[in-house]
């Protein structure tokens, strides 16, 4: 295990061009022990580096979306607002979503019974253009999760200089317990209920957790039937046969590796010489693992909901994909690998750790146990605020989600543009345009980080907030 003492952390921060962070008042035994830091220590960490959640100003009683995940997004925003030096008008306007919808979807099940499913859609900001964001089907979907993800999407679109604001929605259900016809009926009912609030110039949904091209095809068809003509630009991430874009499926995972490669070049690492662990082997993690493998990196571990596999010599990524295609998951794969848990994967010794599963994976409890040199966030919100502070103190840079996983929304933007113009590009053109966008955004974030002496996450938020602030100051607030 690498020596994680203070001097090594300081040396690594200097090598990577990271800003100095005041040493945190956490006992080393607490940070590296079996249970990680105590909650009191975690709170101390937070108070010394970022404004604590409890101090986020709220007018009157707590609002309906005030969940821990939304408070995490708000805490990041409040800290970035202090660094951004924007007018009060901007901070007041950006703290809360513009619109939040709560729906109940009555749906007939295959056995003839009926069930109502809660559904949500949150639109955070339309200052830069129509809102944009995914639709997820998951048992944990709630208003706070959608509000947090919508806020992050606003920063993501602004950082990539896309003419969008952020949105997010979902249906609270267990898609693994539903048949394909039941999911289709849920999707069509959701689209019909959302129809007054979405549109190519209002709000453009996309796939997310447990939704895919087929889900978007059902949404596009339902909306088009109500409009009386085909409207392919109402959603992105749909099949190519009805106006979808080439390279959309691969875009998020490929974008993650584009940012990782750019970061490696900045600090003098050869990506082909790095050992990488990827948490998540779905649409994002699976593609990221493939891209890393293709570039010569040694992918030593991957995982999905069934657990993970590890080989210090490197995994056969094409063989893993073939196994998952045939069996549905990594469960049971034993060829020249060691079986590990998702939690164990996070603590493996490696150079680059890609977080491509879901939110809240690296927390105050395990951030002190990570043995990587760089974290890349392929998922949304996988690192808690307290964990961010611990990683910064240890000299482990984090490539933040609003930059690193922005490839998906960028190619979604390309799809929307192609649909509006009814003129489509080839795969090489789209990949080139995506690489240009991701490189430009990374370079601007790196510059802000170096100039201001702040972390890459803070720099990304500052750069994004300034983009939105410029639009708000120009437009003002309609009386």
* CA 261 – CA 450 distance, rounded (Å): 19
CA-nearest of 71, 72, 84 to 465 is 84
Using the structure block, give the residue that is written with the tokens 């607030």: 477
Using the structure block, give the residue that is written with the tokens 């990680």: 36
CA-nearest of 202, 132, 98, 89 to 465 is 89
Catalytic pick from 168, 238, 369, 437? 168
Q: What is the 3-state secondary structure (H, E, C) of 286-353?
A: HHHHHHHHHCCCEEEEEEECCEEEECCCCCCHHHHHHHHHHHCCCCCCCCCCEEECHHHHHCCECCEE
CA-nearest of 266, 260, 313 to 285 is 260
Given the DSSP bridges, would you call strands 131-138 and 203-207 parallel, antiparallel or unpaired? parallel
* Alpha carbon separation from 358 to 13, 108, 254, 289, 383 (Å, rounded): 27, 30, 18, 16, 10
Q: Catalogue the long-range contacts made by 31-35 (C-beta closer than 8 Å, 24 or more residues apart).
A: 31/368, 31/390, 32/4, 32/368, 32/369, 35/365
Asked if 55 is an active-site residue, the reply is no
CA-nearest of 243, 241, 250, 212 to 411 is 250
The set of residues, in sequence order, having a beta carbon less than 8 Å from that of 16 and lying 6+ positions away, is 267, 395, 397
Enumerate the β-bridge partners of residue 354. 278, 376
CA-nearest of 331, 342, 332, 334 to 366 is 342
The two counts, helices (H) then strands (E), for the chain are 17, 12
* CA 479 – CA 85 distance, rounded (Å): 25
* CA 208 – CA 168 distance, rounded (Å): 9
| Residues taking part in catalysis | 168
């Amino acid at each position: 295990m690498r020596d994680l003492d203070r001097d090594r952390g300081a040396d690594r921060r200097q090598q990577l061009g990271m800003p100095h962070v005041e040493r945190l008042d956490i006992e080393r035994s607490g940070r590296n022990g079996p249970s990680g830091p105590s909650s009191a220590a975690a709170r101390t960490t937070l108070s010394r580096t970022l404004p604590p959640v409890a101090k986020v100003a709220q007018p009157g009683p707590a609002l309906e979306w005030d969940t821990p995940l939304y408070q995490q997004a708000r805490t990041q925003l409040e800290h970035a607002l202090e660094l951004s030096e924007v007018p009060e008008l901007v901070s007041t306007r950006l703290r809360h979503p513009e619109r939040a919808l709560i729906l109940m979807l009555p749906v007939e099940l295959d056995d003839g019974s009926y069930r109502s499913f809660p559904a949500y859609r949150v639109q955070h900001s339309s200052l830069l253009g129509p809102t944009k964001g995914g639709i997820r089907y998951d048992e944990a979907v709630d208003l706070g999760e959608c509000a947090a993800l919508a806020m992050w999407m606003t920063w993501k679109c602004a950082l990539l200089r896309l003419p969008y604001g952020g949105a997010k929605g979902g249906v609270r259900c267990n898609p693994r317990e539903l048949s394909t016809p039941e999911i289709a009926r849920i999707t069509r009912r959701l689209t019909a209920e959302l129809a007054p609030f979405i549109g190519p110039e209002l709000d453009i949904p996309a796939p997310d957790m447990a939704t895919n091209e087929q889900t978007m095809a059902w949404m596009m068809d339902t909306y088009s039937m109500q409009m009386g003509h085909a409207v392919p630009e109402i959603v992105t991430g749909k099949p190519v046969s009805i106006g979808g874009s080439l390279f959309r499926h691969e875009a998020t995972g490929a974008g993650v590796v584009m940012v990782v490669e750019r970061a490696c070049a900045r600090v003098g690492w050869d990506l082909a010489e790095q050992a990488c662990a990827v948490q998540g082997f779905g649409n994002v993690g699976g593609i990221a693992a493939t891209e890393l493998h293709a570039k010569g990196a040694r992918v030593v571990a991957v995982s999905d909901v069934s657990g993970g596999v590890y080989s210090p010599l490197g995994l056969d990524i094409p063989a893993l994909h073939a196994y998952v295609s045939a069996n549905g998951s990594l469960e049971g794969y034993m060829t020249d690998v060691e079986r590990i848990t998702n939690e164990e994967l996070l603590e493996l010794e490696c150079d680059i750790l890609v977080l491509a599963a879901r939110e809240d994976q690296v927390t105050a409890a395990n951030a002190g146990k990570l043995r990587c040199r760089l974290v890349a966030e392929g998922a949304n919100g996988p690192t808690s605020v307290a964990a961010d502070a611990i990683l910064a103190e240890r000299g482990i840079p984090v490539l933040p989600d609003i930059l690193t996983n922005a490839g998906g929304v960028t190619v979604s933007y390309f799809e929307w543009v192609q649909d509006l113009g009814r003129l489509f590009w080839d795969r090489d053109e789209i990949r080139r345009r995506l690489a240009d966008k991701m490189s430009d955004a990374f370079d601007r974030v790196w510059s802000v980080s170096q100039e201001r002496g702040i972390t890459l996450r803070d720099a990304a938020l500052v750069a994004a907030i300034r983009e939105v602030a410029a639009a708000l100051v120009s437009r003002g607030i309609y009386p």
